[in-house]
């Protein structure tokens, strides 16, 4: 049974007050709060178990190495991957996508080759491809969403040409909550010999993921959205693609031998993991993913779908509020503007006075904002620990803001 009130007790920050009001934390799309088991794991990692990994023969180094490496199996299980050696540790999705841009894109793409992006993408899935456009002459092709925020997978597939080498697409928009049918895109792309990178930063938090079923080549996740520590994350890379990649950074465990005249790389995935890693952060991520899987990803998805439907019905009753992205199967993410409000920052400031934490701005998705004809929006993004009562508090705070602006 999914008991949201019991789950809330696992997150100590949710019991605090902000501006004299009970905290209503609705900025989960930016970063999620941490359960006590993750906080305890991080504290224990630094206080009782810390040592560098892979390099020592003493007890603490062996303990840290075993716990650190065990997280690959947890991530593989979480993503439905068959081989934990296809999991590369990163500091988050941004690093993962940059790894693909530098490590796979530079040696495999040349001037005139095409990368297809959707207008829904986060800057982390845009800027690394601009590096290839500027430095190697790669062509970026854009596919727009419709007025509801939906992205037609066939439009992406139809954009494929003989010069297309990569499709980079989000599975869930961090602005509109749009869920993209990446499976159809991946399977069609494979028939054309085109690689697909999926940005799973949002989707992996809210729904079950199986990378083998999706058929993608790269799948990136970020720990801080997954109830884990900041600066933790991973990218799943299909073995065939790993074999086509060069190292992104040099040093540490990514080498096998170093001489004055030559170097020999370590085997993947360590080939792509230079320097001393975020040991405790990755251990904390493993605990966070275990926690999510104990709750059941299907249960989390069902709970959040209920929150989405309840919030949509409540927000629809505010005729002075414009919600961006209205696809029926979207995630529990709501970006909105308000009649009479000067700027999204003004709305968020008033909501904060009522203890309601939302995001305001362009949400690192400027091309999407331009496509929608907006400068900024407020965004309320829900997590497994949010409740319908918190939706009501959001609505009450929005009504107050509207009254003030009116």
Residues 6+ apart with CB under 8 A from 69: 53
Range picked from 215-219, 248-252, 338-342 for highest mean pLDDT = 215-219
Q: What is the pLDDT of residue 56?
A: 87
pLDDT of residue 357: 98
Residue-wise pLDDT tens digits, 286-295: 999 999 999 9
- Report in angstroms the alpha-carbon separations of 113 from 42, 110, 185, 243, 406: 44, 6, 19, 20, 52
Instruction: Please give the residue that has the higher pLDDT: either 197 or 406.
Output: 197
pLDDT of residue 157: 98
Percent pLDDT > 90 in the chain is 98
Look at domain 4-28+297-405 and name its CATH class: alpha beta
Reference 119, options 149, 161, 96; nearest CA is 149
Q: How many CB atoms lie within 10 A of CB 312?
A: 16
Q: Residue 302: what pLDDT?
A: 98
The confidence band for 100, taking pLDDT boundaries of 50, 70 and 90, is very high
- Return the pLDDT at 1: 82
Q: Which residues are part of the catalytic machinery?
A: 364
Cβ atoms 120, 175 nearer than 8 A: yes
pLDDT tens for 21-31 read 999 999 999 99
Cβ-contact 116, 167 below 8 angstroms:
yes
Beta pairing, strands 356-357 & 24-25:
parallel
What are 107-153's pLDDT values in tens digits? 999 999 999 999 999 999 999 999 999 999 999 999 999 999 999 99
Nearest one of 332, 224, 361 to 284, comparing CA atoms: 224
Q: Where in the chain is the domain with CATH 3.90.1150.10?
A: 4-28+297-405
Task: Report the candidate in 239, 224, 231 with the shortest Cα–Cα distance to residue 271.
Answer: 239
Q: Look at residue 334 in the predicted model and tell me its pLDDT.
A: 98
- What is the per-residue pLDDT for 342? 84
Taking Cα atoms as reference points, which of 223, 207, 16, 198 lies closest to residue 100? 198
Tell me if 116 sits within 8 A of 143, measured CB to CB. yes
Residue 90: predicted pLDDT: 98
Specify the CATH class of 49-294 in words.
alpha beta
End-to-end Cα, the chain, rounded Å: 44
Collapsed DSSP state (helix, strand, coil) of residue 28? coil
**pLDDT of amino acid 39:** 99
Residue 55: pLDDT band (50, 70, 90) is: confident
Q: pLDDT by residue (tens digit) across 231-243?
A: 999 999 999 999 9
pLDDT-derived band at 99, boundaries 50, 70, 90: very high
Instruction: Give me the pLDDT at residue 63, please.
Output: 98
| Residue 41, C-beta contacts closer than 8 angstroms, at least 6 positions apart | 280, 283, 284, 287
| 382 Cβ contact partners less than 8 Å away, ≥ 6 residues apart | 26, 28, 304, 307, 308, 311, 332, 333
Structure confidence at residue 226 (pLDDT)? 99
CA distance linking residue 244 with residue 306, whole number of Å: 43
Helices (H), 225-278: 239-242
pLDDT for residue 287: 99
Average pLDDT, stretch 65-91? 98
What mean pLDDT is reported for the chain? 97
| Phi/psi at 323 (5° precision) | -90, 130
Q: What is the pLDDT of residue 87?
A: 98
Instruction: Give the CB-side neighbour count of residue 192, counting CA atoms within 13 A.
Output: 21
Give pLDDT, residue 126. Answer: 98
Report, as an integer, the average pLDDT of 330-343: 96
Condensed to tens digits (0 to 9), the pLDDT of residues 225-273 reads 999 999 999 999 999 999 999 999 999 999 999 999 999 999 999 999 9
* Whether pLDDT at 209 is above 90: yes
Q: What percent of the chain has pLDDT over 70?
A: 100
Which letter does DSSP use for residue 253 in this model?
Answer: G
Q: Where do the CATH 3.40.640.10 domains begin and end in the chain?
A: 49-294
Provide mean pLDDT across the span 23-50: 98
């Amino acid at each position: 049974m999914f008991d949201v009130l019991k789950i809330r007790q696992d997150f100590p920050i949710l019991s605090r007050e902000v501006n004299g009001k009970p905290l209503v934390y609705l900025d989960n799309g930016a970063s999620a709060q941490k359960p006590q088991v993750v906080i305890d794991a991080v504290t224990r990692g630094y206080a009782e178990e810390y040592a560098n990994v892979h390099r020592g023969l003493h007890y603490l180094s062996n303990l840290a190495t075993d716990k650190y490496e065990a997280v690959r199996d947890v991530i593989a299980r979480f993503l439905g991957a068959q081989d934990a050696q296809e999991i590369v540790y990163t500091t988050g999705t941004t690093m993962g996508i940059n790894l693909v841009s530098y490590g796979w894109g530079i040696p495999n793409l040349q001037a005139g080759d095409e990368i297809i992006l959707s207008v829904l993408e986060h800057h982390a899935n845009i800027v690394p491809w601009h590096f290839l456009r500027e430095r190697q002459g790669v062509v970026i092709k854009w596919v727009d969403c419709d007025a509801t925020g939906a992205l037609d997978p066939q439009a992406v597939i139809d954009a494929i040409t003989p010069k297309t080498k990569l499709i980079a697409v989000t599975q869930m928009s961090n602005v509109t909550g749009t869920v993209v049918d990446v499976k159809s895109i991946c399977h069609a792309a494979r028939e054309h010999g085109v690689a697909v990178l999926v940005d799973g930063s949002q989707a992996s938090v809210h729904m079950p993921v199986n990378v083998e079923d999706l058929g993608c080549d790269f799948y990136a996740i970020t720990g801080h959205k997954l109830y884990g520590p900041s600066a933790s994350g991973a990218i799943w890379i299909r073995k065939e693609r790993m074999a086509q990649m060069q190292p992104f950074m040099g040093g540490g465990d990514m080498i096998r031998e170093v001489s004055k005249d030559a170097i020999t790389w370590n085997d993947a995935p360590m080939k792509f993991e230079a320097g001393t890693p975020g040991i405790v952060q990755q251990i904390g991520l493993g605990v966070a993913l275990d926690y999510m899987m104990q709750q059941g990803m299907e249960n989390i998805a069902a709970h959040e779908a209920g929150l989405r439907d309840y919030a949509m019905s409540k927000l629809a009753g505010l005729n002075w509020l414009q919600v961006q992205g209205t696809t029926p199967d979207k995630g529990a993410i709501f970006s909105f503007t308000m009649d009479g409000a000067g700027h999204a920052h003004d709305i968020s400031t008033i909501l904060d006075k009522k203890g309601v934490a939302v995001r305001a701005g362009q949400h690192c998705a400027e091309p999407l904002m331009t496509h929608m004809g907006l400068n900024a929006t407020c965004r309320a993004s829900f997590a497994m620990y949010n409740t319908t009562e918190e939706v009501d508090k959001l609505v009450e705070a929005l009504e107050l803001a509207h009254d003030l602006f009116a």
